[in-house]
Amino acid sequence: MGTEGPNVPLLVSTKPDDHDNNFTYINKPSFLLKSTKWVLKFAMWLIFISWASFLFFAPLDSVNNVYSKVVNATNGTLFGLTGSIFLIYSGPVLVIAFLAIIYLRICGQEEIQEKVKKTASFRLWTFPVIVDGPFGVVTAAELIGILLFGVYIIWAVIAYTIKNISLLPLFEITDIRTRNLLLLELTGLRFGFIGLVCMAFLFLPVARGSILLRLIDIPFEHATRYHVWLGHLTMMLFTLHGLFYVIAWAIQGRLIEELTAWKSIGIANLPGVISLLAGLLMWVTSLPPVRRINFELFFYTHQLYVVFVVFLAMHVGDFVFTIVAAGIFLFMLDRFLRFFQSRKTVDILSAKCLPSGTVELVISKPEGLRYNALGWVFIQIRELSWLQWHPFSVSSSPLDGKHHLAVLIKVLGDWTEKLRGRISSVPGETDGLLQPNVTLKASVEGPYGHESPYHLTYENLILVAGGIGISPFIAILSDILQHIRDSKPCLPRNVLIVWAVKNSDELPLLHSLDLNSLCPYFSNTLNLEIQTYVTRESEPPLEDGKIPKNVSSSVYHGPSGGGMSSLVGTGNIMWSGAYLVVSTVGLIVLVAMLDVFYINPYNITHWWYKGLLFTICMAASVILFGGFVIALWHLWDIKTRKSSEDENSISSLQHEDSNGFKNPSQEDHVNILKYGERPNFKELFGSMAERWGNVDIGVMVCGPTALQTSVASECRSKNFGRMSGEPIFHFNSHSFDL
C-alpha cells in the first residue's frame, strides 16, 4: 500500500483452464532490476543474521573479545565509546532500513505472478501450529521467533551465571555472605543487559508506518502482538534486574541509600527506580484483565513510555542507551509523522446508519493516497472526544473511488453510540435510515495495512467473518470484482464467504450489495459462494426470508480540500525514505556538534546527563531535520492535490446505493442462508478441498478470538498427515477492536 514504484506491467487475461487460471505479463522486470533486488535482499538478510547472531552469542568470551576489538578500533573517533556501541547495536537496524527504502522503491506495487507458488518461507507466516494457547493463534514463523527468544533467555542466563561465578575470585572476597551478595548484584546486572537486548526489538513493531514493517509486509495490527509479547518479556527481565539489587541492598541494610543514589560517574540508581516504576505501571495496566475492564486506564498509563525511556537513558548513560536507540528512534519518527497527519481535519462526505445498527462513514482522501483492501485507519472525532482514537477496517476497495474511502462501525459502546446520535437527524431514530451529513469533521491516521494485496495472490479463497468482521471482506470482494472488471492482475477464481451473525438485521451489510454493478457477468470468471448463518434465530423473521433493501442514499463528492493528509509512513516511499535518512543524518550531526562544542570542551562526564543529552538529540533531529522534510512533503502534497483537483474539477463522483435485494432468479452466485445453525468448518473445508482439488487455499478470518481459534484449528488439521494431492491451507487472521 502506498508504494510508488514502476508501473504495474500490462497483462493479458488468458482463458481459465481447470487449475491453470493465469495472467500472462507482457512486460517483465529487467535483469538489472531483478539483480538489484536480489543483491539488496541478500545484503539485508546478511546484516540482520550477523546482528542477531552477535546478540545471541554475546555471552561467549570469543564474541566478547571481537566486540572489544571493534570498540577499541572505533573508539578514537569524534563520537567516542558512544559512537562505537551505537554502530554495533543500532547501526545494523538503520542500515537495513536504508536498504529497504531502495528495495521498496524498486519493487513498487507487488506484482501478481503468472502462477503464485507458495514457498516454504511464505507458509511459515501463514500456517498455524498453535491455535489455543497463551499466545493465541501462533503461526510457524511466530513459533520459531518465540522459541529463539526463549532459548536466548535460558542460554544467556546460564552463560552469564557461569561467567559471574568465574569473576568472583577476581574480587578477592573471602566472606561467603559478601560473595553471595555480590553474586546477586552481578546476576541483577546481567538481567538488566538481557532486558536491554529484548528492548532493542520492543519499539520496532509499534512504529505503524515503519519502513521495516513495510519491508517484511507485516501490518501494524499484526505486529502489535509482538510488542505485547516483547513487553511482557522485557518487563519481566527488568523487574528481576531491580529485584536482585533490592534484595542484596536490603540484606546489607543500605536499601534507601542505594535507591536514592544519583551518581555522576556510573549508574544513577534513582532514575532507574523511576523508569522501572513507570514500566511496572504500564505493564500491570496492560494485562488482559485490567485492559478489558478499563481500556482508558491502560491507554493513558501507557503514555508513561516517555518517562520510562528518558529516565532509562539517565539511568544507564548515553553509551549503554545506544543499545536500544535504533528502535526508539524509528518509533519517534513514526510518532512525529502521525502527529502531523492527525492535526488535519478531514471531511466526512457521507454518514448513514444501516438497519443493523452499523454506521457507515465515507471519508475524503487525496487521489495519491493509496491503500490495500485489508487496510484500516484510526479515527478521532473531536465533537465526541479530543483524546479517543479508534481503529476501523476500511470497507471499500481502493478501486471504488480515487477521492474517498469508507468504514463500517458497529454501535457497541459509548463512543459509537455518541457517533450515531451525532449523525442522526432525529436522535433516537429507529428506522435506521439517515440522510448524508457533511458537517461532521474527523481526524484520521493511516491508512495502514499490508504492503501487498496478498488476497489477490490465491486462486482459491475462504473468507470467514463474524458479525462486523465482514467489513474488510466486503472490501476484498469488491476489490476482486473490480480487478476482474478492469483486467488488472487478479488470481482468485473460487471464493467462499462464510459469515456468522447473531440476528438477521445484520444481513444487509453483505447481501444487499449489487455485485453486478461492480463487475457485470463476473460469474463467467469467478465462482462465488456466500454461506450465511444466523445463529440466534430459528427462522426468517421477514416474509419469504427476503432481506430488506437499504434505501438511504449518499453522495460521494469529488476532490475536497478537507481530505486526509498524505503524510503517512505507509505513503510515498521516497518521502518516507527521505524523512528517515535526513533525520538520521541530523542525529549524527547534532551528536557531533554536541561533542565538539559542549561535551569535550567543557569535559562533561556525568553519565546521566550525557544520556539525557543523547535523548534530546534524538528528539531534536526528528523535530528539526525530520520536520524540514515533512514541510517539503506537505508542500509537495498540496501541489499534487491541487493538480489533481484541477484535472477533476469538471467531474464529481456520484454514488447512489443500489443495494436492493435481488430475486433468486437473478442470482449469479451461490447464496446459502441458514437459521439457527453455526458453521461446521470441518465439513466446509473438507467439501471445498474435494471440490477445488490439489491447490493452495487462502483462508482469512476476521472476528472474535474463538472464531479465529476454530478456523485456525481446522486449517492446521487439514495439513497434518497431508497426503500427495491434498490441498494446503494458509491462515491469515485479521481482526480489530471495533
What gap in Å lies between CA 180 and CA 572, rounded to an integer? Answer: 57
- DSSP helix/strand/coil, 133: coil
Between 240 and 508, name the one with better pLDDT: 240
Instruction: Determine the average pLDDT of the residues in 593-612.
Output: 94
Cα–Cα nearest to 688, from 473, 490, 498: 498
The answer to whether residue 626 sits within a structural domain is yes
Q: pLDDT for 20-36, tens place per residue?
A: 444 433 345 678 888 99
Is the model's pTM score more than 0.85?
yes
Q: How confident is the model at residue 727 (pLDDT cuts 50, 70, 90)?
A: low
Which pLDDT score is estimated for 416?
A: 85
Q: How confident is the model at residue 598 (pLDDT cuts 50, 70, 90)?
A: very high
What gap in Å lies between CA 5 and CA 105, rounded to an integer? Answer: 5
Cα–Cα distance list, 194 to 20, 214, 284 (Å): 51, 28, 21
What gap in Å lies between CA 109 and CA 489, rounded to an integer? Answer: 11
The Cβ of residue 484 has, within 10 Å, a number of other Cβ atoms equal to 20
Between 444 and 550, name the one with better pLDDT: 444
Listed in sequence order, the DSSP H helices in 568-680 are 573-594, 607-620, 627-647
User: If you average pLDDT over every residue of the chain, what do you get?
Assistant: 82
Q: Is the pLDDT of residue 428 over 80?
A: no
What gap in Å lies between CA 269 and CA 263, rounded to an integer? Answer: 7
**Is residue 192 within 8 Å of residue 241, measured between CB atoms?**
yes
Cα–Cα nearest to 460, from 437, 492, 415: 492
- 211-250 in b/e form (b: 16+ CB < 10 A) is bbbbbeebbbbbbebbbebbbebbbebbbbbbebbbebbe
Q: pLDDT for 355-399, tens place per residue?
A: 777 888 888 888 878 788 888 899 998 888 888 888 888 888 888
**Is residue 729 within 8 Å of residue 719, measured between CB atoms?**
yes
* Residue 307 backbone class (left: φ over 0; alpha: ψ -120 to 50; beta: rest): alpha
What gap in Å lies between CA 33 and CA 103, rounded to an integer? Answer: 10
DSSP classification of residue 5: -
Instruction: Determine the average pLDDT of the residues in 321-333.
Output: 97
Q: Is the pLDDT of residue 659 over 50?
A: no
- Residue 24, φ and ψ in degrees, nearest 5: -105, 130
Q: How confident is the model at residue 19 (pLDDT cuts 50, 70, 90)?
A: very low
The Cβ of residue 148 has, within 10 Å, a number of other Cβ atoms equal to 12
Which pLDDT score is estimated for 20?
A: 41
The answer to whether residue 700 sits within a structural domain is no
What gap in Å lies between CA 678 and CA 400, rounded to an integer? Answer: 32
Q: Is the pLDDT of residue 549 over 80?
A: no
Which class for 117: exposed (0-12), middle (13-18), buried (19 or more C-beta within 10 A)?
A: exposed
Centroid of chain to Cα 693: 34
Which pLDDT score is estimated for 719?
A: 53
The answer to whether residue 179 sits within a structural domain is yes
Torsion angle (degrees, nearest 10) of CA 400, 405, 409, 415: -170
Instruction: Determine the average pLDDT of the residues in 238-244.
Output: 97
Q: What type of residue sits at position 413?
A: G
**Is residue 125 within 8 Å of residue 145, measured between CB atoms?**
no
Q: Which domain holds residue 328?
A: 31-117+140-339+571-635
Q: pLDDT for 499-511, tens place per residue?
A: 998 888 888 888 6
The answer to whether residue 49 sits within a structural domain is yes
Which pLDDT score is estimated for 139?
A: 84
Q: Is the pLDDT of residue 275 over 90?
A: yes
Which of 474-488, 569-583, 671-685, 702-716 has the lowest average pLDDT?
702-716
The answer to whether residue 100 sits within a structural domain is yes
The Cβ of residue 317 has, within 10 Å, a number of other Cβ atoms equal to 23
Q: Could you give the number of structural domains in the chain?
A: 1
For 622-733, list the strands marked E by DSSP: 670-675, 696-702, 728-733
Which pLDDT score is estimated for 486?
A: 84
Cα–Cα nearest to 531, from 567, 507, 561: 507
Q: pLDDT for 429-443, tens place per residue?
A: 444 444 444 467 889
Between 234 and 655, name the one with better pLDDT: 234
The answer to whether residue 356 sits within a structural domain is no
Which pLDDT score is estimated for 251?
A: 95
The answer to whether residue 210 sits within a structural domain is yes
Cα–Cα nearest to 421, from 376, 469, 381: 381
The answer to whether residue 75 sits within a structural domain is yes
Q: pLDDT for 294-305, tens place per residue?
A: 888 998 999 999
What gap in Å lies between CA 345 and CA 386, rounded to an integer? Answer: 12
What gap in Å lies between CA 451 and CA 216, rounded to an integer? Answer: 9
Instruction: Determine the average pLDDT of the residues in 216-243.
Output: 92
Q: Is the pLDDT of residue 662 over 80?
A: no
Torsion angle (degrees, nearest 10) of CA 576, 579, 585, 586: -160
What gap in Å lies between CA 58 and CA 66, rounded to an integer? Answer: 10
Q: Is the pLDDT of residue 12 over 70?
A: no
Q: Is the pLDDT of residue 738 over 80?
A: no
Cα–Cα nearest to 358, from 477, 217, 503: 503
Q: How confident is the model at residue 551 (pLDDT cuts 50, 70, 90)?
A: very low
Which pLDDT score is estimated for 667?
A: 56
